Amino acid sequence: MTGIQNALEKGVIIIRSSRLSTGIVSRTEMDDQHGYIVAESLNPQKARILLMLVLTLTNDKDEIQNFFNKY
């Protein structure tokens, strides 16, 4: 958690995802408190690709989360 907090303080975008073959990562109170973005149904590899594309458009966490909600 300390490493994640340090990264967040430096402006790094943190995406919470899962490597399980089924299911989604739903938004929780923890995500809101810490400023994490949830990948919904995307595995970490797909979430990274989407994040790279989205970062060419915006750095706003709410907008980034909207992209993850949509795709």
Please determine, for residue 45, whether its predicted confidence score (pLDDT) is greater than 80. Answer: yes
User: What per-residue confidence (pLDDT) applies to 2?
Assistant: 87
Please determine, for residue 23, whether its predicted confidence score (pLDDT) is greater than 80. Answer: no
* One-letter identity of residue 29: E
| pLDDT bracket for residue 51 (50, 70, 90) | very high
Q: Which CATH class is domain 2-70?
A: alpha beta
Please determine, for residue 10, whether its predicted confidence score (pLDDT) is greater than 80. Answer: yes
Please determine, for residue 58, whether its predicted confidence score (pLDDT) is greater than 90. Answer: yes
Q: Which has the closest alpha carbon to 22: 42, 51, 49?
A: 42
Q: Which has the closest alpha carbon to 15: 7, 56, 23?
A: 7
This prediction has a pTM of 0.83
